[in-house]
Amino acid sequence: MGDSALKSLPPPQLSDRVNLTQGGRSSASRLRWLVACVLGLAWFLCSSSRTWNFSHFKIDPFYANITGQTNICASPYGPVVSHSGYIGLRGDTESTPKRSFFWYFEAEHDAVNAPIILTIGGGPGTTEHFNLIALDHPVGVGASYGAKVNNSRDAAIDVYDFLQKFFVVFPHLAQNRFILSGGSYGGMYVPHIATVIHEHNTALAAGKGLAGAIHINLESMMVSNPISDATSHYTWLLQTRCYNHDVYNASTCAEMFKLLPTCLDSIRLAQETPGWLVERRAAAHNICIPLQGGDTHGTTLDDVRVKASILATVPDAN
């Protein structure tokens, strides 16, 4: 079945039963997912479709194209069950789509009651006792496609919209504990998402929430190696690379510290501008980004204890 054959779900009555079935994906989406995950090829070659039935819609109907898998990621406890596909977000239509791609892995132990981790690029390291939702976020990243937003707040609102619809598709998870996870620029994304969820939960408790929305049982959030403030990031970047770990040598540090005041001034100018005009943000980025590009003389930034020359001498495990 091709994408052209898929249609948005019709408005259901509460007594109706609505089926979500597997649909095709474009070759471009497949290619993007293959780049993101080498298991993607096995997924498309070996997948088996599943159908979900549910009878209680409390929000407006929405596009959903989801398939279930049980034949990847072998585990000593048996097949790992996963579900992946697209959910249409607010404003989504066939002519102007706006769709988030996700891959949901069920916990290997007590999946019905296990906490849920939503990860936005990065971590966690173990998920045996957790349900894991990997989300391509924001729209325009990875296999998520359609109308884009230009700020983290609106992107967070899209995630809230996604979650409300995800819990329509998987209602048995709606009351489970919920954890947000991200790395690097996730330090920007995750706090915004947590804030939006908290604001909507508060509004729901006061009887002022969105029609049909449910409380999301947000328990915690975690971010690894986050960037959350540009001024702090660039200030401590040089501190780390020049003094804490000797990533840059003395001449590189001297050169970079000359650039730092101009970088910080450009960030402050952009921050003081109402709405952070795109042009000033772009200018600040272009001024500051060279601070990250100094010669590391073989030091690997993923593990500053290791030199690239050492990695090159490690024998192939095969």
Per-position DSSP letters for 257-295, written without gaps between them:
HHHHHHHHHHHHHHHHSTT--HHHHHHHHHHHGGGG-S-
Beta strands in 144-217 (DSSP E): 145-146, 178-183
Q: State the pLDDT confidence band at 306, using cuts at 50, 70 and 90.
A: confident
Q: What is the mean pLDDT of residues 252-267?
A: 95
pLDDT for the residue 125: 58
Q: How far apart (Å, rounded) are the C-alpha atoms in residues 168 and 63? A: 12
Residue 123's pLDDT band (boundaries 50, 70, 90)?
low
Closest by CA to 194, choosing from 89, 104, 118, is: 118
Q: What percent of the chain clears pLDDT 90, i.e. is strictly above it?
A: 52
Mean pLDDT of 222-234: 88
Which tens digits make up the pLDDT trace of 98-119? 999 999 999 988 999 999 999 9
Residue-wise pLDDT for 172-206, tens only, equals 999 999 999 998 889 999 999 999 999 999 999 99
**What is the per-residue pLDDT for 304?**
80
Confidence of residue 301 (pLDDT cuts 50, 70, 90): confident
Query: What confidence tier does 59 reach under pLDDT thresholds 50, 70, 90?
Result: confident
Q: What is the pLDDT of residue 174?
A: 95
pLDDT > 70 fraction of the chain, expressed in percent and rounded? 75
Give me the pLDDT at residue 53, please: 37
Structure-model confidence comparison of residues 43 and 69, the more confident one: 69
Q: Which residue has the higher pLDDT, 196 or 28?
A: 196
Quick check: pTM over 0.85? Answer: no
Greater confidence (39 vs 144) lies with 144
Q: In the numeric block, which tokens belong to residue 28?
A: 């471009």
Three-state secondary structure call for residue 64 = strand
pLDDT beyond 80 at 3: no
26 vs 209, more confident? 209
pLDDT at residue 299, rounded to an integer = 83
**Average pLDDT of the chain to the nearest whole number:** 79
CB 70 within 8 A of CB 48: yes
